Amino acid sequence: MRARAILMAALVSVPAAAQPIYDLLLKSGHVIDPANGRNGRFDIAITGDRIAAIGNSLPASHARLVVELSEYYVTPGLIDIHAHFDAQGAWLNLNPDHNTLRNGVTTAVDAGSSGWKNFEAFKSAVIGHAKVRLLAFLNIVGAGMYGSKVENDVAEMDPVAAARMVKKYPELIVGIKTAHFQPATWDAVDRAVKAGELSGTPVMVDFHPKPGRGYEELILKHMRPGDIHTHFLGRLTPQLDGSKKVQPYMWQARKRGVLFDVGHGSGSFWFRIAAPALKQGFLPDTISTDIHKDSIMLSRATMPNVMSKLLNLGATLEQVVERSTIRPAKAIRRPELGALREGAVADIAVFSLDRGRFEFLDSGRGKLTGDKNLRCVLTIREGTVVWDSEGLSLTDWSDAGPYSNYK
Ligand SMILES: [Zn+2]
């Protein structure tokens, strides 16, 4: 017994400073973390699934693995608040992990693929298996995006049942979605807002104006402060006047707290609209992809791609990072997800800002030639490297040692 006690004491007495205390040290990256006002060189240390420290000159000798990032930008893991990943719903939906993590996205929100009737099937079939943090806007249509027949059926839109489902899964459902509604009435929007009121959550609106159901009335009267109009740079809604000037009601709606989200997709981003809007200072509140099987093809609308388009239209890197991290986090009322903080879950993205000649495609058969392209090179989700396109966290094979070292 005595010998064992002495041995234990000897183990405990090893100076803590001599032991590795960080699992991973991200060294010397240019950190852009608008929530905390960081825009400069910092080290970030990770232990387990948490951020252990953020600072200058954190000791490399304390880390099991050091990743040198002086050529790269480091941001909080991106948040894409408009995506489609419910395999139970529309055929357009994608696998969540393959289409988020390699783009620096560590939190994605499925925007209404499922409704209160089939959310639980989505939860057990997809959300429960995803490595990315997968959240949802619940479609006001009970069956979700299951084709125009149900999506145009007002009887499918039950605010009480929808709000009940939101309250059952408050950790997963962040709000209500309405989309694709064609009849010229306010039923879909108003019932979605009712469900938002009953559940205390925001509503994301995809809107097709009709005679008697206009856009100005939507954003000034029917939507509440904190509700989100997605696809706002698309052709469907009249955000610009005939001389390409941003309509006064856009500024009024922004002033009353309505949020404008990109929701790029395959039909909702036009350089002919985005360029004059940005020039007049009307930037999106949030950047999102509306990623689905079509939009990843011709328009290549991933988060870094949409961010790059806005960069080449004149937005700053800090502006696009803010609109892809803390602003969407606040829009879904989960501000802790959009910032780098000691003690928080380590969800982090690393980007190369490449210089050269790059072509970008929009939804209206238009292209933009730009000189900047943001490319995700490393993604960390819950402290683990899940994407590493350059092998930044790896050892050169010739120094990797015998096979038997491999764990
Ligand atoms: Zn969508």
Distance 294 CA to ligand 1 centre (A): 11
Considering only residues 362 and 17, tell me which one the structure prediction assigns the higher pLDDT.
362
Residue 90 covered by a domain: yes
Contact 186, 209 (CB under 8 A): no
Residue 162 covered by a domain: yes
- Residue 4: predicted pLDDT: 45
Distance from C-alpha of 89 to C-alpha of 68, rounded to nearest angstrom: 42
Distance 268 CA to ligand 1 centre (A): 10
1 pLDDT above the threshold of 60: no
If one counts the domains in the chain, the total is 1
Q: Comparing C-alpha atoms, which of 104, 167, 113, 105 is closest to residue 142?
A: 113
Distance 287 CA to ligand 1 centre (A): 13
Distance 61 CA to ligand 1 centre (A): 47
234-280 residue pLDDT tens? 999 999 999 999 999 999 999 999 999 999 999 999 999 999 999 99
Distance 65 CA to ligand 1 centre (A): 39
112-139 residue pLDDT tens? 999 999 999 999 999 999 999 999 999 9
Q: Comparing C-alpha atoms, which of 262, 259, 152, 241 is closest to residue 202?
A: 259
Residue 36 covered by a domain: no
Residue 110 covered by a domain: yes
Residue 114 covered by a domain: yes
Distance 403 CA to ligand 1 centre (A): 46
Which amino acid is it at 130?
A: A
Residue 405 covered by a domain: no
Distance 93 CA to ligand 1 centre (A): 10
**Coil, helix or strand at residue 299:** coil
Distance 312 CA to ligand 1 centre (A): 24
The domain of 81 spans: 77-348
Distance from C-alpha of 239 to C-alpha of 237, rounded to nearest angstrom: 6
Helix (H) or strand (E) holding 4: helix 2-12
Task: At 20, list the tokens.
Answer: 């590795």
Distance 83 CA to ligand 1 centre (A): 6
Residue 112 covered by a domain: yes
Helices (H) and strands (E) in the chain, counts: 11, 15
Task: At 52, list the tokens.
Answer: 């252990």
Q: What is the CATH number for 320? A: 3.20.20.140
- Residue 18: predicted pLDDT: 53
Residue 3 covered by a domain: no
DSSP 227: -
Distance 265 CA to ligand 1 centre (A): 7
